[in-house]
Each structure stands twice: as structure tokens, then as C-alpha cells.
Amino acid sequence: MTTEGSGPTRIDYEGRRAEVWSWLPESEIEPDALTQIRNVGSLPCAVGVAVMPDSHKGYGMPIGTALATQDAVVPYAVGVDIGCGMIAVRTSLPIPDRDQVRAILQRIYETVPVGQPTKQDRSAGSHTDRQDSEVIRRWADDRGDGFQGEAARIRERADRQLGTLGGGNHFIELQTGDVGLWFMLHTGSRAFGKFICDWYHKKALAFCEAYHTPLPDKELAFLSTHTREGTDYLIDMGFALRYAEESRARIEVAVLAAIREVMGEFTSEYRLETHHNFAAEERHYGKDVVVHRKGAVSTANGVDVTIPGSMQTGSYIGVGKPDKRAMNTCAHGAGRRMGRNAMRREHQGVDIKAEMEAEGIVLVCPPGSDALDEAGRAYKDIESVMRYQADLVAPLTHLRPLGVVKG
């Protein structure tokens, strides 16, 4: 049995077509996620699978997993929030007091739209005016004719969502590494990425059906990279990646302005950006493959990586340790251990905002959204995640939360 920090174990089973390595002990993998892992490893195009210690059930493939395929791309192995990622910045400022933290977060909340659309308010979490995304404008000009009239609709929505946070596990957090102020933000491509994923997933279903390709799960439908649809997916995924980066850059500007407004001038001494939902053409197993990282970060060339925990625990900045069994990949965070509905059922009546205040952490979120489903106990233990992936990441800085904006 694997012990913490002792390296991965091989998952073997009947019907396996690919190498499957896991940095999470099989006994700790939830049954639904284990079924998905076995399904992924049984795909006819699969070459390798790496399961990270934050792995948990997703659509088709677990979040916290890397998949290498040959001559094929699997839209749901990247996921709907293409290009989702992190920015972490260390400032030259000292640790702010509680009132300053609250003032900064409130200013961020006033300038960065937060939350998700609802049936009652379809514009929630969006700007009232179009933001004229450079990436979306180029996508619509270069690619829009291929989407059967849908490009204009999604372009307007994406324009309004540029520089917005969204909901779920997306956040803007003020942190400290014990000697000064950091901030970290987490968001992705929002509706645009989902549109790209869903569009090509339908194409993938049709492709697999046309060629009578047996699939262990329809959510794992794939496209050949030798087809027009397969290459088009990679192109449009690239646009979604750049849109997510453009959106994070807008939020970063707003966060910097809010901090400056409350605390005065400062410099950014360190900046790190990573993304964790993407596919890339790489070479592994002696082959040219497409590596899908879903809730997973590339460690190629020993780059620095962000590994957030939860809004009540802490996060890490680390340096990646390339590992061929992991296809040069590490975890993207703590990973959920409890679903949102289950979290709410089991913790009815908990005032998470008051609980966090007692811990010295300020929580700011929209009216009617208490962020209870994002409580620390909904997530795996970040310290265990770091120990399990000790051969994939070396910790550099441990960050603790001072306050957070959540959708």
C-alpha cells in the first residue's frame, strides 16, 4: 500500500489499454472517480493516465487527472472551463490589519462582477456593458462562420463576462506568507469555454458513432486529430485559453487598484500564472501524444506552480519536479472530498462567515450566497496532498488566507 510521499502506485484492471499511475492511494479514491479512471484508461486512444492526489469525480474524467492520447483529443478530458487557472502575486506591502483586509475585499467586490447567472437574474456575475475582448473579437472574425450562427450570441456573453470571477471554487484571496501581503485569484473562460467544450463534445459523439467506436462512457467521446474537427477543437481551445488569460489580467488590474487605494503605493515583487484545464501536444512514452490536464498543472522544465487549498486552510507556491510517469504533472489544489449538495445537507445552519471571522478570515460574497459549500471541510487536506505528491512538487512558500471574495 502507498504511504504518504512514497510515490505512485500502478492501477491495473481488465480492459486497461494505458499505463495508469496514481499519486492517491486507491483506497482513498471515491468509487465513482475510480470507475472514471478505469474508463479513461480503457479508451482505445489512451496511452497514459496520471491520477493526482486531489483527484475527484468530474464529467467523463476525474478532476485532478492527466490523460495522454495518440492521434485523438477528448473534449471532456479538458473540461468546460478551458484555461481555468491562477495568478499569485507577492507585494512589497506588510500584512494588513483586519479593517484594511475588509476594505480591500469590499472594493474588489464593487469593481469585479462576482457570481453566476440565475433564473431570476441571467446577467448576474457579468458586466452590464460589453468589454470588447480582443481574443473574442479575433475568434469571431477568424472562426465565427463555423458555428452556425452561434458565434454572435456567445461573443456578446463572453464580452460581458471578461474580467469577471464567476462562482463555485473561483476566488480572489488576500494571503500572507508571514512577512507580507500576497493575493491569489482563480477563474477561467466561463461561458466561452463551456460553449467550445460542448460544441466539440457533440462533434466527438458523432465521430465515434460514425466509426462504431466503443466507448466506456459517452462523456469520453473523442475526435481524431487528423480530422478537421479535431484540429479545429485544438485551435478553439487555444482561443479559450487566451480569453481566460485576458480575463484574469483584467481582474488582476482591479485587485492591484483596490490594494493601492487602501494601502498606498507598492510594487509587485513576484508574479506567477498557471492554468490547469488544457490539452497540449507533447512527447511521452516515446510517442507524440496529446496530454489533457484536467484540474492538473504542468511541471515541465521545473516551473513554479500554484496549489491552493481552501478559503479556510492555506495554499502553496511550489516548484515542479518533472516526472515521466506523471507526464510532468502535479495537482492543482486540494480537491473536493465532499460534493456541494452533500456539504450543505450535512452542515445545515452553519454560519460560515461568522466561523471564518472567528478564525481571523474575512469572507465577502453576494447576498444570498453564503459560500458554505466552499468551506474548508469540503476539501481534502492540503498537507496530505502535498505529502502524496512530494516527488512532483517541492514547496517554496506556504500562504495562509486573510480574506476572500467568493461567488
Q: What is the pLDDT of residues 156-172, one digit of tens each?
A: 999 999 999 999 999 99
Which CATH number fits the domain 9-406, given the four candidates 3.90.1860.10, 3.30.420.40, 3.40.50.1100, 3.30.70.940?
A: 3.90.1860.10
> Mean pLDDT for the chain?
96
Of 121-130, 184-193, 238-247, 269-278, the poorest mean pLDDT is in 121-130
The mean pLDDT value for 181-195 works out to 98
CB within 8 Å of 79: residues ≥ 6 apart:
58, 59, 63, 197, 277, 294, 295
Q: Do residues 181 and 91 make contact, with C-beta atoms less than 8 angstroms apart?
A: yes
Q: Give the mean model confidence (pLDDT) for residues 202-206.
A: 98
Q: Can you give the C-alpha Rg of the chain in angstroms?
A: 21
pLDDT at 5 over 80: no
Residue 123 has pLDDT above 90, yes or no: no
What is the SS3 assignment for 174? strand
Q: What is the pLDDT of residue 3?
A: 47
Rounded percentage of the chain residues whose pLDDT exceeds 70 = 99
- Residue 199, C-alpha cell as written in the block: 460544441
What percentage of the chain carries pLDDT values higher than 90? 94
User: In the prediction, which pLDDT does 394 show?
Assistant: 98
The confidence score (pLDDT) of residue 4 equals: 58
The whole-number pLDDT of residue 1 equals 34
- The SS3 call for residue 202 is helix
User: pLDDT-based confidence at 2, cuts 50/70/90?
Assistant: very low
Delimit the domains of the chain by residue range.
9-406
Task: Summarize the chain as % helix, strand, coil (round to 5).
Answer: 35, 25, 40
Q: Which residue has the higher pLDDT, 122 or 290?
A: 290
Instruction: For residues 303-318, give the mean pLDDT.
Output: 97
DSSP notation for 61-91? S-EEEEEEESSEE-GGGT-SSTT-EEEEEEE
Residue 86 has which C-alpha cell?
Answer: 491562477
Q: pLDDT tens, 262-293? A: 999 999 999 999 999 999 999 999 999 999 99
Q: What is the pLDDT of residues 358-367, one digit of tens each?
A: 999 999 999 8
Say if CB 326 and CB 284 are below 8 A apart. Answer: no
Q: What is the pLDDT of residues 16-60, one digit of tens each?
A: 999 999 999 999 999 999 999 999 999 999 999 999 999 999 999
